[in-house]
A and B are shown apart, each in its own frame.
Chain A
Amino acid sequence: MEILVSLTVGALVAIGIWMMLDRGLLRVVLGVVVLGNGVNLAVFSAGRLDGRAAAFVTEAGAPALAANPLPQALVLTAIVIGFALFVFALAVLKRSWELHGKVETDLVTAVAEEPAPDLPPQGDKA
């Protein structure tokens, strides 16, 4: 399991980063999701994988080989937050398409970094 998980995390991170290096902003956003999945898996596994029973306890006490509940709680909220941020990123993507007609990272950067109207033009910034 340890080796399997390590390789999976590595693969997800590699794929996520690769997607974030894409020209299209959409794939960048999806890359964040894949990278997030990889990181969630890493946090989860950091609690070790030797659990043989889910983390439920009874009056008699916890099972001897219960899974580590703490990383589970951390990952659970991380998934929900990741989802909320993903929708936010989608909204930004959609908005930039509507406003500028661009979904390519470099072009979006170029239009987004137009100087603010109340600043002097770039020429005499010194």
Chain B
Amino acid sequence: MLASIGLIAFAMLAAVPLAARLDQRAGWLLALAPLGAFIHFLTQMPTVAGGGVIESTLAWVPALGVELAFRLDGLSLLFALLITGIGTLIVLYAGAYLSEHHHLGRFYAYLLGFMAAMLGLVLADDLIAMFVFWELTSVTSFLLIAFQHDKAESRRSALQALLITGGGGLALLAGLILLGNVGGSWQFSGLSAQAIADHALYPAILVLVLIGAFTKSAQLPFHLWLPNAMAAPTPVSAYLHSATMVKAGVYLLARLNPALGGSTSWGTILITVGAATALVGAVLAIRQTDLKRVLAYTTVTVLGQLTMLLGTNTHYGLQAFAIYLVAHAFYKAALFMAVGSIDHATGTRQIALLGGLIRHMPLTGFAVALAAFSNAGLPPFFGFIAKEFKYAGLIELGLAGWVTTAVMILTNALLLTAAGLVFVRAFLGREGRYPHPPHEVGVPMWIGPMLLAIGGFVFGAFNNLAEVWLIDAAVQAVSRATVPVSLYLWGGFTPALLASLLTVALGVSFYLQRTRLRRRLSLWRVLWRVSGDRIWDRLLKRVFAFATRVADRFQHGSLRQHISALVLAIAGFALIGLFASTGEDLAWPAVSSPVNLAALLGCVLAVAGAAAAAVTPGRVALVATLGASGLGMAMFFLAARAPDVAITQLMVETLTVIFLALVLRRLPPTRLVGSRKPAAKRFHAVVAIVIGAVVAAMMLMTVSQPLPGEIARWYLDNSLPGGQGANVVNVILVDFRALDTLGEILVVGLAGLAAAGLLAGGRREDEAAPGAGATEGSADFGSVLLRQGILPLSALLALVALMLLWRGHNLPGGGFIGGLVAASAAVLVALAFGTTRARALLRVPPLAMLAGGLGIAAVAGLVGLFHGEPFLTGNWIFPAGLPLGTPLLFDVGVFLTVLGAVLHMLLGLLEREA
């Protein structure tokens, strides 16, 4: 089961490269995937027909009880066979139909992707998995409908379909989540109908699930998207509107009928909405002049009828549902494909221009004849049996049934008229006025309609076959209790037969009077003015206008206003939190550690430097004050017993000053501080002071409480025994929390790449040659003595860096610090001797260093996997008593990443500057 979905998904991946090599011949190869799946499902028929189910489960989100659970019962099998069987024919058909199209491969990929999603939908037993596939069908059908995306109509239709079905999908998700909670299971097969029916949330579940199903199955008033989706290429229409997309909603209703179908409201809603949909679809169908749109609206009718039948929940009704589902899929796919062939062969789908095609397209014509008979519900076709059972099912309902039977008779009569339009009008009679001289289409284009049309005949004439292998098991899966299934062509003189005769009489007279009928219908001008499409357009316009208003209000583009609003909001919420907590928390700190002089000095320096940087206009002063502030930070960290942090801060400050000085040289001086308007300046000062005060209060409240938990102690106790390191901070970085570090060096690497790209990008034309920007060294370092001193100093720094890296596991140091120190050494060389010399000395390009560092870190993590342990678990060996382990290797990766990133940015900047 899973393999069949996988096979089709694989074909999807292979479609584009295959089509690039083989053009439309790729279709023959790709069709093997759905064919294989089809055969697979055929072999499952004996099991399922015998009342068995086939299940397979894959854990997905075990913590939430969500599984990729698949379950093949009668209903799923029926759908799976339709999806893969018709899918095979459609893939073949599409190859010929779109043979000229330059994106044929992409089309195959979309089509197969849709097929896989649809198959997943009908096989999934898990509510959430089903929903995911449900949404996937929405997305892939969007791609299919918008396939001819150069046409505005296609784009509009695709968006409409996506918005309607996607919006319904949201409702469905809410409904399914409620259903899972109330029903006591996340599997369809495990839902308890009793628990759901008795629950207070039953109405909510019902409404939400029905919105989802109705949007997908184009029930009134969501039917708009279906006819508009005719903008898609014909193979798409044939597939989406016969067996798949639109049937997904009906499938869901059928699937949930055992769990939800017990109430009167279920039946009432389904029958009412279904009847209204069927009626509207049938009336609109007769008004169309485009053959494809006629078919599209009859699909709306059929979906309405199917919904009605499910609502009846009678024995005949459910049998009719299953029979009609198959009959409709057969004839509608055949007719859609045939209409595409007509379009292909004659260049038009306008009914008025067609006629007498049987002389030119005998094979297509024969297929259309068979399909149209089934569509019209004439014996001995499968459609006839469906129609008889439909009437029988509705009549079983009693009094209410007669009203709905009247609707059914009327809509069926109109379907018969539509069938007449497709076959009699287009294929018989006198020659039409075709834009092109018509010709019979190739094998891949007539084989599909032919097989499906013959299938409709075979199932009708030998209905025992369908009953035993397909319909029986499907009906049992839909029904709430066992239903005796028995198909027949001739049931004696029953009310259903009478209704059938009435239908044929009405339908034939409608067909003969079609011109007058259409004129009559056109008289109801008021009715046509209430076009759903116009309402839709107006609605969408309103939504966009509203969105624009809202966005303009909040996204005004002023950074300062954004920051002010954000900061004030944060301060406000924090204040609420402060006051909401108990009063005693706001008291002056209970515990207080003695103030350390170095820490005090550090703090004063940090604040004073920052304050000076905030108000000073000069560039040099800016660099100096900011550097001083950072120095103060480092001092504080040192005083607070965090040597590693202090060294890191120190190194970073050094590099910050260098980068800042290099960039500031190129920027204009900043004369003005703050805003121009005094009022704005005052406001900004208030904002800053408010947030500062609130943050200070929060800090005070936090640090005056004793630290909860034992995390710190755990790290201290396990660092040496578990991590082989005395420097706990380093052990945390490269062992205990190495995954965090891996993510962090990835960020550093990416920031380095992005910054270097920005710094070096967009060179002028004359600089485009590689290495053109290489510098010869700054004149500021022109002194011979200085230059002579710098090389040994750099070498020493590099040695120190390596030493820091090595000893970091036990003493202050490590990859981060070592990397920064090494970067400083290289920066010195680059500044004094130019980037060419620096690159030559480095030997390895910084980019390679960066990538290599990330790679080494990742590889160090993989070692653990080979030992069957989680990613990044430390592994140690002790050759000659020397502890060597993957955390050390990991630290080397950190070292190289940091070094590479800094140098990549710096060399890019320097070379750009030149």
Whether both chains belong to one complex is answered with yes
A-side residues, CB < 8 A to B, are 1-24, 26-28, 30-31, 33-34, 37-38, 40-42, 44-59, 61-62, 66-70, 72-73, 75-77, 79-88, 90-95, 97-99, 103, 105-106, 109-110, 113, 125-126
B595 touches A4 (CB 8 A): yes
A24 touches B672 (CB 8 A): yes
- For the complex of A and B, list the 6 residue pairs with the smallest distance between their C-beta atoms, beginning with the closest: A14-B692, A10-B696, A84-B751, A18-B688, A62-B716, A6-B699
Chosen A-B contacts, 21 in total, with CB atoms closer than 8 Å, are A1-B593, A2-B592, A4-B600, A10-B696, A14-B688, A15-B614, A20-B563, A23-B674, A30-B613, A30-B626, A42-B699, A50-B591, A62-B728, A66-B712, A80-B748, A88-B751, A91-B755, A92-B758, A93-B667, A106-B560, A109-B558
What B residues does A14 contact at CB under 8 A? 688-689, 691-693, 695
Q: Mark B651-664, 1 if CB is under 8 A from A, else 0.
A: 01001100110011
Which of B350-358, B374-382, B729-737 is near enough to bind chain A? B729-737
B683-741, CB < 8 A from A: 684-685, 687-689, 691-693, 695-697, 699-700, 702-704, 706-707, 711-712, 715-717, 719-720, 726-729, 732-733, 737, 740-741
What A residues does B707 contact at CB under 8 A? 47-48, 68
What B residues does A93 contact at CB under 8 A? 663, 667
- Does chain A have a CB within 8 A of B539? no
**Of A12, A45, A83, the contact of B606 (CB 8 Å cutoff):** A12
B559 touches A28 (CB 8 A): yes
Known: A2-B591, A81-B748. 10 other contacts (CB 8 A): A2-B589, A17-B692, A22-B675, A33-B626, A34-B626, A51-B640, A62-B728, A69-B712, A80-B748, A88-B755
Closest to A69 in B: B728
- Does chain A have a CB within 8 A of B607? yes
Q: Mark B559-576, 1 if CB is under 8 A from A, else 0.
A: 110011001000000000
What A residues does B685 contact at CB under 8 A? 18
A23 touches B675 (CB 8 A): yes
Please report the C-alpha to C-alpha distance between residue A10 and residue B643 in the assembled complex, in whole angstroms: 24
A10 touches B711 (CB 8 A): no
What A residues does B715 contact at CB under 8 A? 55, 69-70
Please report the C-alpha to C-alpha distance between residue A62 and residue B667 in the assembled complex, in whole angstroms: 51
Please report the C-alpha to C-alpha distance between residue A76 and residue B748 in the assembled complex, in whole angstroms: 13
Nearest CB in chain B: distance from A35 CB, A: 9
A72 touches B645 (CB 8 A): yes
Please report the C-alpha to C-alpha distance between residue A91 and residue B754 in the assembled complex, in whole angstroms: 9
A3 touches B596 (CB 8 A): no
Which of B82-90, B131-139, B203-211, B630-638 is near enough to bind chain A? B630-638
Nearest CB in chain B: distance from A17 CB, A: 5
Which of B13-21, B69-77, B540-548 is near enough to bind chain A? B540-548
**Of B564, B655, B674, the contact of A22 (CB 8 Å cutoff):** B674
Please report the C-alpha to C-alpha distance between residue A105 and residue B648 in the assembled complex, in whole angstroms: 31
Nearest CB in chain B: distance from A25 CB, A: 9
What A residues does B652 contact at CB under 8 A? 79-80, 82-83
Q: Mark B532-555, 1 if CB is under 8 A from A, else 0.
A: 000000000100110010000000
What B residues does A80 contact at CB under 8 A? 648, 652, 744, 748, 816, 820, 898
B645 touches A79 (CB 8 A): yes
Nearest CB in chain B: distance from A12 CB, A: 6
B729 touches A69 (CB 8 A): yes
**Of A13, A52, A55, the contact of B691 (CB 8 Å cutoff):** A13
B170-190, CB < 8 A from A: none
B644 touches A72 (CB 8 A): yes
B607 touches A45 (CB 8 A): no
- Does chain A have a CB within 8 A of B527? no
Please report the C-alpha to C-alpha distance between residue A92 and residue B781 in the assembled complex, in whole angstroms: 28
Closest to B761 in A: A95
B-side residues, CB < 8 A to A, are 541, 544-545, 548, 557-560, 563-564, 567, 589, 591-596, 599-600, 603, 606-607, 610-611, 613-614, 622, 626, 629-630, 633, 636-637, 640-645, 648-649, 652, 655-656, 659-660, 663-664, 666-668, 670, 672-676, 684-685, 687-689, 691-693, 695-697, 699-700, 702-704, 706-707, 711-712, 715-717, 719-720, 726-729, 732-733, 737, 740-741, 744, 747-748, 751-752, 754-756, 758-759, 761-762, 810-811, 816, 820, 898, 901, 905, 909
**Of B592, B643, B670, B676, the contact of A26 (CB 8 Å cutoff):** B670
Please report the C-alpha to C-alpha distance between residue A15 and residue B266 in the assembled complex, in whole angstroms: 64
Nearest CB in chain A: distance from B766 CB, A: 16
Please report the C-alpha to C-alpha distance between residue A31 and residue B625 in the assembled complex, in whole angstroms: 13
Q: A23-B672, A48-B703 are in contact. Are A42 and B695 (CB under 8 A)?
A: yes
Closest to A23 in B: B675
Please report the C-alpha to C-alpha distance between residue A2 and residue B751 in the assembled complex, in whole angstroms: 34
What A residues does B702 contact at CB under 8 A? 45-46
Nearest CB in chain A: distance from B823 CB, A: 10
**Of A5, A37, A125, the contact of B629 (CB 8 Å cutoff):** A37
B640, B641, B761, B901: which has the most chain A beta carbons within 10 Å?
Answer: B641
B622 touches A30 (CB 8 A): yes
Q: A49-B640, A95-B759 are in contact. Are A76 and B606 (CB under 8 A)?
A: no
Nearest CB in chain A: distance from B477 CB, A: 49
Please report the C-alpha to C-alpha distance between residue A69 and residue B719 in the assembled complex, in whole angstroms: 10
Q: A88-B755, A90-B660 are in contact. Are A53 and B641 (CB under 8 A)?
A: yes
Please report the C-alpha to C-alpha distance between residue A31 and residue B604 in the assembled complex, in whole angstroms: 18
Closest to B667 in A: A97
What B residues does A4 contact at CB under 8 A? 595, 599-600, 603
Q: A24-B672, A49-B703, A70-B711 are in contact. Are A54 and B642 (CB under 8 A)?
A: yes
What A residues does B633 contact at CB under 8 A? 37, 40-41
Nearest CB in chain A: distance from B295 CB, A: 35
Nearest CB in chain A: distance from B622 CB, A: 7
Nearest CB in chain A: distance from B114 CB, A: 28
A14, A30, A97, A106: which has the most chain B beta carbons within 10 Å?
Answer: A14
B610 touches A105 (CB 8 A): no
What A residues does B761 contact at CB under 8 A? 95
**Of B607, B641, B664, B744, the contact of A54 (CB 8 Å cutoff):** B641
B692 touches A11 (CB 8 A): yes
**Of A50, A72, A126, the contact of B545 (CB 8 Å cutoff):** A126
Nearest CB in chain B: distance from A28 CB, A: 7
Closest to B551 in A: A125
Q: A1-B596, A90-B660 are in contact. Are A76 and B816 (CB under 8 A)?
A: yes
**Of A1, A7, A83, A109, the contact of B599 (CB 8 Å cutoff):** A1
B567, B636, B676: which has the most chain A beta carbons within 10 Å?
Answer: B636
**Of A1, A38, A54, the contact of B592 (CB 8 Å cutoff):** A1
Please report the C-alpha to C-alpha distance between residue A106 and residue B408 in the assembled complex, in whole angstroms: 66
What A residues does B740 contact at CB under 8 A? 77
A113 touches B699 (CB 8 A): no
Please report the C-alpha to C-alpha distance between residue A3 and residue B729 in the assembled complex, in whole angstroms: 26
Closest to A8 in B: B603
What B residues does A113 contact at CB under 8 A? 557
Q: A5-B603, A92-B758, A109-B557 are in contact. Are A68 and B712 (CB under 8 A)?
A: yes
